[in-house]
């Protein structure tokens, strides 16, 4: 795909990605992201404090509980939880997070963005990996076009 922002390229180059906010409900946006990253060869770790298993995989309550390294974090939580995920990412040495957002605020919260800035974490704000990763479906191609047009694409 052409014109992929450098930050997105770096995120998708990460070997191990935690997806914070996966749901016990199969059709939530975070689960779609989780599956796409998994299906395109990433080592993906589900994170949700209310689940012990997601789609047949062990789910961890927080980033501290995840064994092994984490290279990047996809934040698909409610905005109120995003700053805490950033704090946990910082404690794990993660330098790249992506805040999911389609319409509205998504997972983006002002205090979470400030937390990234003060901790030296690069934040990708808006959209999701489904706009760039693997075979991009028509709805996500259209959504990417719309976000580009509105100046809301990840940078």
Q: Dump pLDDT digits (tens) for 61-72.
A: 999 999 999 999
Q: CB under 8 Å to 149, separation ≥6 — which residues? A: none
* Residue 103 pLDDT level (bands cut at 50, 70, 90): low
Q: What range does the domain containing 98 cover?
A: 6-150
Asked if the structure places residue 136 within a domain, the reply is: yes
Domain tally for the chain? 1
Strands of 9-88, DSSP E: 16-20, 43-47, 53-54, 57-58, 72-75
CATH number at residue 38: 3.40.50.720
Q: Does residue 1 lie in a domain region?
A: no
Task: Flag whether 90 is in a domain.
Answer: yes
Q: What is the pLDDT of residue 4?
A: 84
Q: Note whether residue 62 is domain-resident.
A: yes
12-21 pLDDT tens trace: 999 999 999 9
Tokens 């395109």 identify what position? 40
* Residue 155 forms part of a structural domain: no
Q: Is there a domain that residue 107 lies in?
A: yes
């Amino acid at each position: 795909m052409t014109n992929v922002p450098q930050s997105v390229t770096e995120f998708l180059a990460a070997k191990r990605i935690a997806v914070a906010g996966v749901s016990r409900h199969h059709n939530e946006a975070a689960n779609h992201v989780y599956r796409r990253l998994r299906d395109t060869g990433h080592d993906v770790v589900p994170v949700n404090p209310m689940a012990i298993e997601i789609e047949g995989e062990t789910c961890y309550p927080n980033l501290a509980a995840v064994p092994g390294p984490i290279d990047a974090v996809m934040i698909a939580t409610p905005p109120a939880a995003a700053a805490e995920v950033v704090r946990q990412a910082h404690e794990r040495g993660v330098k790249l997070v992506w805040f999911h957002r389609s319409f509205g605020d998504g997972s983006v919260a002002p205090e979470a963005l400030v937390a990234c800035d003060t901790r030296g974490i690069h934040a990708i704000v808006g959209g999701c990996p489904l706009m760039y990763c693997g075979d991009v479906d028509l709805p996500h191609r259209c959504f990417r076009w719309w976000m580009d047009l509105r100046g809301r694409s990840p940078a």
